[in-house]
Amino acid sequence: MLDSRTIQVIKSTIPLLESAGPALTIHFYERMFKHNPELKDVFNLAHQHSGGQPVALFNAVAAYAKNIENLAVLSSTVERIAQKHTGFLIKPEQYAIVGSHLLATLKELGGDAVTEEVLEAWAQAYGFLADMFIQREAQIYQSNAEQDGGWLGERQFIISAKKTESTVITSFILTPEDGKPVKDFIPGQYLSLKLKHPNLAYEEIRQYSLSDAPNGNSYRISVKRELGGQVSNLLHDTMHIGDKIAVMPPAGDFILEVGADIPVVLISAGVGQTPMKSMLNQLIKLQHPSAITWLHACEQGDVHGFKQAIHTKRQQHHNLKSHVWYRKPSSTDVVGTDYDFEGQMELSKVADQLLPHAHYYFCGPIGFMSAIKQQLLALGVSAENMHYEVFGPHADL
């Protein structure tokens, strides 16, 4: 544990951190990539360019300083980051590299306010935090290797099927090249793919939600074509049946955990439906006896993925209800057939199906999820019954 003086010094630097803001972590990443360019193969460079990752890291550093006396409140944050790190195959020795650049950044931006005592305190605090991550990640790596169908590090998979779900979403079935089983996962988790291609300046690792229930033989991911997205467009346009992809074991802390007597509401917008689809398929596979409600929002019919699959499941399972919102229906979209409501998702329109004791899982753009959270709170749903996933760097709603 950290001693009281170290804790006191760390807390004294909170005003400095808040004054610097995300500029601190922007400088950190620029410095690290300059001196250790090999780490560009590890980090998602698109999130660097968008500014999302520096902001997320700054929020994590600030939260660590503010909760240095009560780290238990950060346990969910540590778990989320550790899960993500295993998808990037983070090694213990890389923490020392990150630590050296973090301390150098503090000194370079903090000036005279960052004394030797401050640097020593942050060195101890960072080392303590790094050890927490290293230990948890070692547990995850070991568990992945020991489970039936599990593995450690990269494993070669083959694209065994490719299906167009909408004009922007394509599903890929990934089957292991060695023909052996694959480990189970918990619906809501994601796969990490490593792609090396002449069109990419560096190796790129991307994490995509699994979009089907576990079956022990293969995995399915469903990828949205992002405007200007190098990797998503590469997958859509240049990766075909028979091509190989390096895959890391499933990971993630956004998971379906409900008892048989708990109603489940799955809420999504756009490609945020992919982890919901995995959850839905698992609930149906396990014959979940309580009510299941599927709520989805998208722009219009041509981008509406899994439309027919959801319609078929609703016809086959009496306890499944679904409602769809199109923000701007096209002239060929039919209300009552393709969609139920026009405009933004308003939960008040289906309030009679939203039970306070149900568990709510939601995924989509940040603005969408923030609005959903506020609507659920207004309907009397406890925050403890809400579970959400952010695609990309984490943000609090």
Q: Which domain CATH number covers 89?
A: 1.10.490.10
Summarised one tens digit per residue, pLDDT across range 272-327 is 999 999 999 999 999 999 999 999 999 999 999 999 999 999 999 999 999 999 99
How far apart CA 34 and CA 244 sit, in angstroms, is: 31
Residues 6 or more apart whose CB falls under 8 angstroms from that of 156 comprise 176, 177, 178, 244, 245, 246, 247
Token pair listed for 171: 């599903």
Summarised one tens digit per residue, pLDDT across range 182-210 is 999 999 999 999 988 777 777 889 999 99
Q: 330 and 363: one domain?
A: yes
- Percentage above 90 pLDDT, the chain: 76
Does 92 belong to an annotated binding site? no
Q: 241 and 318: one domain?
A: no
pLDDT at 56: 74
Q: 39 and 117: one domain?
A: yes
* Residue 178 belongs to domain with CATH number: 2.40.30.10
Residues 6 or more apart whose CB falls under 8 angstroms from that of 317 comprise 284, 292
How far apart CA 174 and CA 252 sit, in angstroms, is: 18
Q: 52 and 165: one domain?
A: no
Q: Is the pLDDT of residue 96 over 70?
A: yes
Q: 361 and 325: one domain?
A: yes
Q: 176 and 110: one domain?
A: no
Q: 142 and 176: one domain?
A: no
Q: 103 and 198: one domain?
A: no
Q: Is the pLDDT of residue 48 over 70?
A: no
pLDDT at 395: 65
In which band, very low, low, confident or very high, does the pLDDT at 21 lie, cut at 50, 70 and 90? confident
E strand or H helix at 367: helix 366-378
Q: What is the mean pLDDT of residues 88-116?
A: 91
Q: 209 and 86: one domain?
A: no
Summarised one tens digit per residue, pLDDT across range 224-254 is 999 888 889 999 999 999 999 999 999 999 9
How far apart CA 278 and CA 271 sit, in angstroms, is: 13
In which band, very low, low, confident or very high, does the pLDDT at 87 lie, cut at 50, 70 and 90? very high
Does 192 belong to an annotated binding site? no
Query: Could you tell me the sign of the dihedral formed by the alpha carbons of 112, 115, 119, 122, in that order?
Result: negative
List 29, 64, 126, 137, catalytic entry: 137
Beta strand extents in 188-291 (DSSP E only) = 190-195, 204-209, 219-224, 244-251, 264-269
Does 391 belong to an annotated binding site? yes
How far apart CA 299 and CA 327 sit, in angstroms, is: 5
List 29, 64, 95, 141, catalytic entry: 95
Q: Is 28 among the domain residues? A: yes
Q: What is the mean pLDDT of residues 338-367?
A: 96
Q: 237 and 275: one domain?
A: no
Phi, psi of 222, deg, nearest 5: -130, 115
Q: Is 108 among the domain residues? A: yes
Residue 137 designated active-site = yes
- Percentage above 70 pLDDT, the chain: 96
Does 393 belong to an annotated binding site? yes
**∠ at Cα 366 (277, 208), nearest 5°?**
40
Q: What is the mean pLDDT of residues 120-138?
A: 93
Total domains in the fold of the chain: 3
Residue ranges making up the domain that contains 54: 4-146
Tell me how long the chain is.
397
Phi, psi of 333, deg, nearest 5: -80, 135
Q: What is the mean pLDDT of residues 213-226?
A: 97
Q: 192 and 229: one domain?
A: yes
pLDDT at 394: 65
pLDDT at 46: 54
Q: What is the mean pLDDT of residues 341-354?
A: 96
Q: What is the mean pLDDT of residues 29-46?
A: 81
Residue scoring higher pLDDT (40 or 68): 68
Task: Look up tokens 């699959």; give the residue.
Answer: 309
Residue 95 designated active-site = yes
Token pair listed for 376: 């659920």
How far apart CA 287 and CA 285 sit, in angstroms, is: 5
Q: Is the pLDDT of residue 148 over 50?
A: yes
Does 190 belong to an annotated binding site? yes
pLDDT at 50: 47
Amino acid at 165: E
Q: The pTM is what?
A: 0.92
Residue scoring higher pLDDT (63 or 347): 347
Does 271 belong to an annotated binding site? yes
